[in-house]
Amino acid sequence: MRIRGVASEDWVRIWPFLREIVAAGDTYTWDPDVTEERARELWMPTPPWRTVVAVDGDTDGDTVLGTAKLGPNHMGPASHIANASFMVAPAHSGRGVGRALGEYVLDLARADGYRAMQFNAVVETNTRAVALWRSLGFDVVATLPEGFEHPTKGFVGLHIMYRRL
């Protein structure tokens, strides 16, 4: 596995699993019926945002195992706080792709001069993600009660997670 900046031709390999994750409606605060055009805008925003992919090379190009985006969570006098989002292709879960992307993005954020990283919306029932971010140094600084409407569990809490860099 290696991690590199996204190329426009990667999108066709991101969209199938991104659509699947968003459509499930249990981890992402996106419209589950998001269009491909809107999803591409949201996932590959303009600079200073950066999008990266974790890939395996194969004979007909790179297989995208997962992807992340990094950018400012606030503007102006709070623009030193980064935000990041992560998606791992379900077909490639359990291989440490999320952790590798997390570590890579934390280093990238430091290199970009950010002083902290904030996740605005980690669904509390997404226990794998919560555990991964805790293991990478994030704390749950607040939980918005009933902040997320889960498709089977009803209203569940939405964590705000944060760490200094």
* Binding positions for its own copies, rule: CB under 8 A: 22, 25-26, 28-32, 74-81, 115-116, 118, 120-121, 141-151, 158, 160, 162, 164
Specify the residue, 25 or 96, whose C-beta has the smaller distance to its own copies: 25
Specify the residue, 11 or 30, whose C-beta has the smaller distance to its own copies: 30
In whole angstroms, the minimum distance from the beta carbon of 83 to its own copies comes to 11
Q: Distance between CA 66 and CA 97 in Å, rounded?
A: 7
Specify the residue, 55 or 158, whose C-beta has the smaller distance to its own copies: 158
Specify the residue, 22 or 54, whose C-beta has the smaller distance to its own copies: 22
Residue where the block lists tokens 């890579």: 104
Cα atoms in the 13 Å half-sphere on the side-chain side of 37: 0
Give the three-class secondary structure for 135: helix
In whole angstroms, the minimum distance from the beta carbon of 25 to its own copies comes to 6
In whole angstroms, the minimum distance from the beta carbon of 151 to its own copies comes to 8
Bond from prior residue into 48 cis (ω within 30 degrees of 0): yes
CA distances to 12, 28, 67, 92, 112 from 6, rounded to whole Å, are 11, 21, 8, 18, 17
Amino acid at 99: R
In whole angstroms, the minimum distance from the beta carbon of 3 to its own copies comes to 27
Helix segments in the chain, DSSP class H: 11-24, 36-43, 97-111, 127-135
